[in-house]
Amino acid sequence: MTETREPKIITEALAVIDKGLAEMLHRELVSTDEVADLLLDVRTLLASREDEPQPLVS
How confident is the model at residue 53, as a pLDDT? 58
Q: Express each pLDDT in 35-50 by its tens digit.
A: 999 999 999 988 876 5
How confident is the model at residue 40, as a pLDDT? 92
Name 38's Cβ contacts closer than 8 Å, sequence gap at least 6: 16, 17, 20, 24
Residue 41: which of 8, 22, 56, 19 has the closest Cα? Answer: 19
Query: pTM value?
Result: 0.63
- Beta-strand (E) ranges in 1-58? none
Residue 33 has pLDDT above 90, yes or no: yes
User: What sign for the dihedral angle of Cα 33, 34, 35, 36?
Assistant: positive
How confident is the model at residue 3, as a pLDDT? 47
Report, as an integer, the average pLDDT of 53-58.
Answer: 55
Q: Which residue has the higher pLDDT, 53 or 3?
A: 53
